[in-house]
Amino acid sequence: MLEKQIMYLTKIKEPSDLRALDYDQLEELAQEIRERIIEVVNETGGHLGPNLGVVELTIAIHRSFDSPRDAIIWDTGHQSYVHKLLTGRQANFESLRQQGGISGYPSTEESTHDWVENSHASTSLSYAHGLSTAFKKSGEEGNLKRRVVAVIGDGALTGGMAFEGLNNLGHHGSDVTIILNDNGRSYAPTVSKLGESLAMLRINPNYQRQEERLKNIIESLPLGNKIAQKALRATKAAVREVWEPPSFFENLGVEYTGPFDGHDIKKIEQVLKQASQVKGPVVVHVVTQKGKGYAPAEEDKTKQMHDTSTMKSDSYTNAFSEVLVKAAEEHPNLVALTAAMPDSTGLLDFQARYPDRFLDVGIAEQHGVAAAAGMAMGGLKPVVAIYSTFLTRAIDQLNLDVGMHRQPVVFCLDRAGITGDDGPSHHGVLDMVLCSKIPGITILSPSSYQELQEMFLHAMTIEDGPVVLRWPKTAARQVKPNEIGKGLKAREVIKGGTEKTVCILAVGKMLEAAEGACAILAKNKIQTSVWDVRCIKPLDEKMLEAVADYELVVTVEDGLANGGAGTGIEQALFKMGSKATISIMGIPDAYIPHGKADEILSSLGLDVEGIASQIKKDLKK
């Protein structure tokens, strides 16, 4: 950046410093912030579009409220980069999403200005209800009264939890300022965008009936003249008022004001200061432009550079995208669902080819999974494409709505295992632990590009219950046809000789590290067999029989070690009467910070050297 371009940003050490600037200076500051975010995110990766859209809004919020005394909650937290720059973290901003650097989400460990790390959407209004209740109970009144501010995107407002929060805020009269950041998008264009679904009344049956009735009355008049037409317009406005946002929110006991231009600092500041004086909850509806001020983001019609990631040709996601389209040609009843993430989960090609067989349910994972159960009951073959971490929000539906009814829904979990840069809330380390407890479920974990496609095609043939197919964010290795398994069978990759000393059972991407560890052990004259488990549930009986006589059986997975695939293998071998020592290697029970995925795995001992070292230790016991 040029010297003159950073006249103001470097002077902002805390939010109160913003109050020393006039509105012309604030506009220059906003431009500096945009340039800074673009500069850093293009190097580190991250959420670009959402943060470019909230620059002026964030400035106005921090000029209107006293953070951290007033609690500001971001929903979701990926739109908090501007907030970080204004709350003392600009000097370290280059470390965004880097190991040991600042998080891409709010972090209570980083700053007292960050109240929650909420990278899963639709939670802010519940947090706000709780904090407001706590502040009220503390007895702080008058000028000392603390305010809770929830900044919620209209995408996050598609989640049912947000409506539960709204209902409770209104019922209890909580003193909360709700800033509805309306940019028409969550990741991709928002499904059921509040502003459209409530304001576009032409598709509302009640409104249509009223309109038709009024037209008939006018047409029956002797003189259907301009006066009558004006009367019709006035009456239509009155009918419409019942269904627009003011009435919607106020029927819940929540005041509403807006919409306002979210890029007009002065106007938003005035509105927020007025709203903060309202007793009880109030919605301030602001309209912003995602990606504002950066042409590549503004021109990105798919997701306005929500993030800087793209689907790589060597990724597991790309393998899924290819095979999904292929399967759709053979299965006319196949439908694909996602929760507001068609791009990141690899569904764009399918959507383009089969738009009538594609469903985006918005940020509503519970609804999506239950809906998939209904689709399966009706004869469709639903494929639910979702991040591993987001499936945890719908485990109840997977268990009771899909599993208990033995519906053949295929769940394709992207970002399973350690995902890296997005931190603890995005690591997909719970899916094997949770899903493996569901009766009748099939769980598959591919170790290569080709394995994923083979497994998906087989999953399409399973009709007696749900199938979970999980894969990581990291690149998928390419293998030859003779290195691809079949069906639900495990595959012996390396035969370790006749001594039966050590056998490694590797899950998914961990196969490659297990093979490398085997090579190290061979140099130490430790004969080691390696199996690709492939099917986590049900486990391959022939694999279990083959490894039961080994001295040491080591399981390696990229999910939680406690209760995951290794635990299932250990229990199965125990039931068989195996005397083998079982060593389970996986992710510890901890919230793992952000960093590069393979670097994190290495730090946890889940790389070639770490596996070999652990086996040597186990043999000495």
Instruction: Report the catalytic residues.
Output: 290, 365, 393
Measured in degrees and rounded to the nearest 5, phi and psi for residue 158 equal: -80, -15
| N residues, the chain | 621
The answer to whether residues 427 and 418 touch, using CB atoms and an 8 Å cutoff, is yes
Tokens of 80: 């908090």
Angle at 377 between CA 376 and CA 380, to 5 degrees: 35
Question: Closest by alpha carbon to 260, among 92, 443, 57, 100?
Answer: 57
The answer to whether residues 397 and 373 touch, using CB atoms and an 8 Å cutoff, is yes
> What is the number of other CB atoms lying within 10 angstroms of the CB of residue 80?
30
Cα–Cα distance, 234 to 251 (Å, whole number): 23
Q: In what order do the strands lie in the sheet with 148-153?
A: 71-75, 148-153, 176-182, 282-287, 255-261
> What is the number of other CB atoms lying within 10 angstroms of the CB of residue 497?
11
The answer to whether residues 475 and 314 touch, using CB atoms and an 8 Å cutoff, is yes
Cα–Cα distance, 111 to 92 (Å, whole number): 13
Cα–Cα distance, 612 to 518 (Å, whole number): 7
Q: Which long-range contacts (CB under 8 A, 24 or more apart) does 355-361 make?
A: 357/328, 359/335, 360/188, 360/191, 361/191, 361/337
C-alpha count within 13 angstroms, C-beta hemisphere, residue 295: 0
Cα–Cα distance, 271 to 259 (Å, whole number): 11
Cα–Cα distance, 197 to 452 (Å, whole number): 38
Max CA pair span of the chain: 104
Alpha helices per DSSP H over 251-294:
265-275
Positive or negative: CA dihedral 347, 353, 359, 362 = positive
Cα–Cα distance, 78 to 94 (Å, whole number): 16
